[in-house]
């Protein structure tokens, strides 16, 4: 049963959307990262939580007080938890916020995309930051 749910979540992941989100993150953070949209690359680039924390600080300075070095699983999960808490403070609803293991273990990268899209909508309204490119409906 759990395997079927995970397979369903993986099927929802869209590589073009992931690519657009990574390009948006790269643009805001000015970090030199791979923007290839595969699930493996998406998890590799975001999985230690550092880049998503830098994203929050690029949107609103000081949102994440201390970004941990990814020298342990605990530190990576702490970064991801700080990101999730930060997006909630910026107005992303709980039901649109992924769980840490969704990103860290790559369980549900679609949910990570949902959170990032929701964050993009919030910061566009509040800070006037352009959102990521959207994919056309026929590619969803």
Predicted TM-score (pTM) of the model is 0.91
**pLDDT 10s digits, 99-108:** 999 999 999 9
Closest CA to 98 of 66, 129, 52, 58: 52
**pLDDT 10s digits, 9-23:** 567 899 999 999 999
Domain 2-127 belongs to what topology? Actin-binding Protein, T-fimbrin; domain 1 (1.10.418)
Domain coordinates in residue numbering, the chain: 2-127
């Amino acid at each position: 049963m759990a395997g079927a749910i995970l397979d369903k979540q993986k099927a929802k992941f869209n590589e073009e959307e992931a690519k657009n989100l990574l390009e948006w993150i790269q643009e805001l953070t000015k970090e030199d990262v791979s923007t290839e949209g595969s699930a493996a690359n998406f998890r590799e680039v975001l999985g230690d939580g550092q880049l998503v924390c830098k994203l929050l600080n690029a949107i609103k300075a000081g949102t994440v007080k201390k970004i941990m070095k990814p020298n342990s699983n605990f530190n990576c999960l702490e970064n991801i938890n700080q990101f999730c808490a930060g997006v909630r403070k910026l107005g992303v609803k709980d039901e649109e916020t992924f769980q840490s293991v969704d990103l860290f273990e790559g369980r549900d990268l679609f949910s990570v995309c949902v959170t990032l899209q929701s964050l993009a909508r919030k910061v566009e309204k509040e800070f006037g930051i352009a959102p990521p490119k959207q994919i056309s409906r026929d590619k969803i």
